Structure 1
C-alpha cells in the first residue's frame, strides 16, 4: 500500500506528540519521599555495651576445715553484722571406716602398745627398787663415814648410784607415757566414727566478715565440704558498681572519668555514671557468631542520687552508653539521608520547587542516628531520608505526608 509523503509526515508528527505527552506526564509525576531538615543541635558519640551491677566489695565465706556443713541458717538477702551474725556452721570431719586390712594393722599397733605398757610398768618397778636400794646405801655410807668405817669415795659411789637409779626411773616413766599415748592413738583409729562424732566438739561457727547482706549461697543444704571451699558471699548492696565488657579497640578511645548514661535498668529515668577504671588486660571471648574477640572490662561508678536507683541490686542488667565525644552546637543531618559513592558522601537536597539535587557533603563525627555536616549544607536545608532507588538527580519529589 502506497502512502503519500504528507500522510507519513502527519503520522510521524502525531506519534512524536503522543510520545512527548507520555514522557511529560511521567516526568512531571513527583516521587513520594520522606523529608527531614538539617538543624543545629547536640551530638554525643558513645560506645554502647551491656553491663551488670555488682557489689564493689564482696567477701567470700570459705570453709576453714574439711567437714560437714550444716544447713545454712540464713537466706540470700538476709542482713548480717560483721563478727556477730553466724553465716555457716561446720562439723569436723569424722574418721573414715576401716577396711579389713587397715583394722588388722590398727589392732596390731594396739597390741604392741599394750605390750610396751607392760614392759614400761616392769621397768618402773625395777628402777623404783633400785632407787630405794641406792638411797638406803647412801644413807648407810653417810652414817659410817664419821666413824671411819667407810671412805669418802664409798659415799660418792653411793650418791652416784642413786642418781643413776633415779634417771633410769625417769626414763621408765617416759616410756610408760609413750606407750600409753600409742595405745590411745590405736584406740582412736579403731573407734567407731559415729561414736567419735557424738562425743566431739559441736561445730566450727563462721561469723560474717562484713556488714551487709547475703548475696549468694552455693548450697543451703547440709553437705560435706573441703577446706577452702566457697560457701557464701557477703556484701553491701548500697555500694554498687557496674562492669561492662567492651571491645579492646573501643577501649583505646575511652578515658577514665568519661561520662556514662545508664539505660534499660528498669526505671523510668536514665541514670548517670562515670568511668572509674579501664582494665589494663584484655581477654579472649568467643561471640555468638563464633568469632574470637578481645574484650576489656570497664568499671563504672553510679553518680545519680542513691534514692533514684535504690531498687537496683547485685547482678542486675544495665545498658551502658559511654560518651566518647560530645558537642553542644553542631550542624546535624540524619544518617538515613546520606549515602556514599566512590566520590565521597552525598545527599539529595530538596529545593523550594521540590527538585531533588544530588549534593556532595563532608561528614565529621557521627553516632548511630545523626552525623555532623562539615561542608555542603546549611541550617534549614531540607534533605531526602531513605531515598528510593528510582530517585535521580533533578527528580521532582513530594513529601510523603502531603502526597
Structure 2
C-alpha cells in the first residue's frame, strides 16, 4: 500500500514537472517591437527638391560687328566698372580684294561722282550770283519806291524773286552735299585690305566694348585672338553676391507652392541652415525624363536667399543645394511616424501598446511631411504605438520593447 502511494506521488510530480516544462516551452513569447510615444509639436509640410545657385543678373557681352576679336583684356575674376573697363576689342573685317572688272567699275564710279560734285559746285556759284543780283535789284527798287519814282508792285515782285533765289541757293548747297557723299561712298569701294578705313594711321580701326555693368568677369569664352561673327558671345559679367536658387519640382507639387513661401536651404556645404523665400514660379512646365526613363512635368521655382552673407560663407554660382519649400506649418500638431501607419479596411490604423499587448486602433490622418503624419483622431497624446510592425504583430499579441532587451 505504501509502495503504491509513493508511486502515485512520484508520477504526479513527474507529470507536473513535464506539464510545467511544456508550458514554458510552448508558451507564446512576446514579440520584440519598436515603440514610439505620440507627442504634440510644431510640424511643417514641405516640398523637397534639389536646387542650384546662380547669379541673378548675368550680362552677356557679344561682338557688335563681325571681325577679329583681339586677345581678351580681362580674365575670369577681374572686377569691372560700368562704362569704364574695356572688356573686349573687335577689329572689323577687312574689305575683300577687287578683281579687274570690279576695280574698273569702282574707279568709273569715283570719276562720275567727282563730275557730279563739280556740277553741284557750279550750281552753287550760279545760285549765289543770282541771289546777289536779286538782292541788288531789290535794294535799288526799294530806294526808288521811297523816292516815289517806282511802284510798290515792282518791289513786291523783286521781294518774291529774292526769296526764290535764296531757296535755290539752299537747294544747291544740299545737292553739293549729296554729291560729296556719293564721292566718299565711291572712294570707299576702292579701299584695299590692310588699309585704314578712316584714312589715318590705323590706330582707331578697332571697336572697344565697355563693361555693361559693375561686377566680376564670370566667364571668358576664349582668351586668344580669333575671328567672330556679329552676335558671338565673348564673355559674361555678374555680381557673385547677387545669388538666387533655381529648383525644378514636379508640377503636382508646384500647385501647393506660393510666392513668398519660406524655404529651408540644406546641404550647401556649411553647418548652419540658410533661409530663403520663393520669389517666382514659372508659369509653364516642361517635360523632363528622369533617371528611370520616366517622363515628368517639371516647373522651375526661383528662390531668393535671405542670408545676405551667403556669398561670404562660400556659396557661389552653380553650387548644388537641397531645398525644403514650406507649404504649410502648425505650432501644436499631434504627430505619428509614417512607419507606424498601415492600411486597414480602406482607412488608416496603428497598433497601440496597452498592458503589454498590441491593440489595433483606427485613426484619421491629416497632412504628411517627411517621416511623420498629422493624427486628427483615434489616439491621444502620450499613446505608445508600434513602428514598423511585422506580420507577427496582430491585435492582442503580447509585445515587448526591443530597446528594453
Aligned to 2:91: 91
Aligned to 1:103: 99
SS in 2 for 1:109: helix
Deviations 1:85-104 (A, max 9, x none): 111111111234x5xxx624
In 2: Cα distance, 1:351 partner to 1:245 partner:
46
Aligned to 2:64: 64
Q: CA deviation at 1:402?
A: 2.3
Aligned to 1:355: 357
SS in 1 for 2:241: coil
In 2: Cα distance, 1:194 partner to 1:393 partner:
96
Deviations 1:120-177 (A, max 9, x none): 69x99xx9xxx9xxxxxxxxxxxxxxxxxxxxxxxxxxxxxxxxxxxxxx9xx99x97
Q: CA deviation at 1:383?
A: 1.3
CA RMSD of aligned residues (A): 3.5
Aligned to 1:223: 226
In 1: Cα distance, 2:401 partner to 2:58 partner:
59
Q: CA deviation at 1:39?
A: 1.2
In 1: Cα distance, 2:66 partner to 2:311 partner:
45
Q: TM-score, normalised by structure 1?
A: 0.73
Aligned to 2:349: 346
Distance 1:28 1:42, change over 3 A: same
Counterpart selection for 1:393 from 382, 389, 395: 395
Q: CA deviation at 1:202?
A: 4.0
In 1: Cα distance, 2:66 partner to 2:81 partner:
25
In 1: Cα distance, 2:382 partner to 2:66 partner:
76
SS in 1 for 2:99: helix
Aligned to 1:151: none
Aligned to 1:249: 252
> Greater shift after overlay, 104-113 or 209-218?
104-113
* Structure 2 counterparts to residues 323-342 of structure 1, below 5 A: 323-342=326-345
Counterpart selection for 1:277 from 272, 275, 280: 280
Long gaps (5+) in structure 2? 1-13, 127-172
Aligned to 1:157: none
* Structure 2 counterparts to residues 199-238 of structure 1, below 5 A: 199=202, 201-238=204-241
Q: Is the 8 A contact 2:107 2:190 kept in 1?
A: no
Aligned to 1:45: 45
Counterpart selection for 1:289 from 289, 292, 303: 292
> Greater shift after overlay, 342-351 or 206-215?
342-351
Aligned to 1:372: 374
Aligned to 2:138: none
SS in 2 for 1:246: strand
SS in 2 for 1:28: coil
In 2: Cα distance, 1:285 partner to 1:251 partner:
15
Long gaps (5+) in structure 1? 1-13, 132-169
SS in 2 for 1:401: helix
* Structure 2 counterparts to residues 75-86 of structure 1, below 5 A: 75-86=75-86
SS in 2 for 1:384: strand
Distance 1:29 1:284, change over 3 A: same
Distance 1:27 1:385, change over 3 A: farther
In 2: Cα distance, 1:309 partner to 1:178 partner:
59
Work out the number of aligned pairs and report it: 335
Q: Is 1:318 aligned to residue 314 of structure 2?
A: no
Aligned to 1:158: none
